[in-house]
Amino acid sequence: MFSQTSKEVSYSATNGRAYITFERPEKRNALTYEMFNQMMAYIRQAEEDDDVRIIIFRAEGDHFSAGHDLSQVGKEYGFDPSGKGRRPSQRARLHWDKHHIEQFRNICFCVKPTLGLIKGYCVGAGLHLIEACDFAIADETAKIGHPEQKMGLAGAAYMTTWNIVASGPKKAREILMLGDILTPAAAMDAGFVNKVVPRGELDSAGEEWAEKIVRLPRDAVAFGKAAFHLAYDSLGMNTQFVQGYVMHALSTNIRFEEDEMNFMREKRDKGVAAAAKDREDRYKNPSE
């Protein structure tokens, strides 16, 4: 057995399984960019270990991931927190988004099968990660969706093509534009997860599936993954990793009018928590 911990993501490998575990429960496992970089290093480590047959993404605490750490959002482009500096250049936006979407591409095109175990919140970047995985199992506490789309994206997502293929164009548009949170059953109907299990049975359900995969021949699994990658290419799904970063870079440069919710301005003036609350309050159903 091999184990390694770095900051807020840990890695261990045993019995044909590699576990990448988020260890930031006090922040609902919100993902920092440093965590993404470490995750990529662990994926490469698992790919190079011939004893690893499957990579399992899991999390400590009650939530898989609340998405990107919103305290970092904007800083990756070089925004001046005071709002007085020059706007980030388009080249800075494109360069960063290209780097970041390639991290999701690395998960999608990982040579080993990948399985995500979802509990509690699985939103934003956490859900992008799950979309890039081969399999996903959720327990009945899961809350799944893309509420970050209400920050001014409205469909300019990293994995839009995947969403359309998984859910159909109309359902994908609904999920991305409205940004609603799906129940586990609705998420399974929309193609986000393979299976829903009772609370407390998530780990055992993951181990059951992992054991089935571990028993398969290594070469057969490798060819199976390669076949899927070829199929993605024939369906044109690989283009999402180009259009995704271009559209995301453009969408983060939209002009907000005075009567519109500007998350970055609210974050600057009120802080992350208050800005997030204002965002959700703005889009609440009036009947609620």
Is the predicted pLDDT of residue 50 greater than 70, yes or no? yes
Average pLDDT, the chain: 91
Rounded Cα distance between 64 and 286, Å, is 30
Is the predicted pLDDT of residue 287 greater than 90, yes or no? no
Mean pLDDT (whole number) for 101-130: 97
Structural domain 2-282, CATH architecture: Alpha-Beta Complex (3.90)
Pairing of strands 135-139, 181-182: unpaired
- Provide the pLDDT for residue 122: 98
Reading the block at residue 3, the tokens are: 């184990």
Q: Cβ distance 158 to 237 under 8 Å?
A: no
Nearest Cα neighbor of 56 from 163, 137, 145 is: 137
Q: Where are the domains of the chain?
A: 2-282
At 220, phi and psi to the nearest 5?
Answer: -65, -40
Strands of 9-14's sheet, edge to edge? 2-6, 9-14, 17-22, 54-59, 114-118, 135-139, 195-197
Is the predicted pLDDT of residue 2 greater than 70, yes or no? no
Query: pLDDT digit string (tens) for 59-90?
Result: 999 999 999 998 888 788 877 766 677 788 88
Give the gyration radius of the chain's Cα atoms: 19
- Provide the pLDDT for residue 43: 98
Rounded Cα distance between 108 and 176, Å, is 20
Confidence of residue 5 (pLDDT cuts 50, 70, 90): low
Q: How many CB atoms lie within 10 A of CB 13?
A: 20
Mean pLDDT (whole number) for 102-126: 97
Mean pLDDT lowest for which of 104-118, 232-246, 265-279?
265-279
Is the predicted pLDDT of residue 251 greater than 90, yes or no? no
**Helices and strands per DSSP (H, E), number in the chain:** 11, 10
Nearest Cα neighbor of 117 from 235, 49, 39, 200 is: 200
Nearest Cα neighbor of 180 from 146, 154, 130, 131 is: 146
- Provide the pLDDT for residue 279: 80
Largest CA distance in the chain: 60
Is the predicted pLDDT of residue 286 greater than 80, yes or no? no
Mean pLDDT (whole number) for 157-161: 91
Rounded Cα distance between 61 and 75, Å, is 27
Report the interhelical angle of 263-270 vs 272-282 (nearest 10°). 140
Alpha carbon 111 to its chain centroid, in Å, reads 19
Is the predicted pLDDT of residue 263 greater than 80, yes or no? no
pTM exceeds 0.85: yes
Rounded Cα distance between 234 and 79, Å, is 39
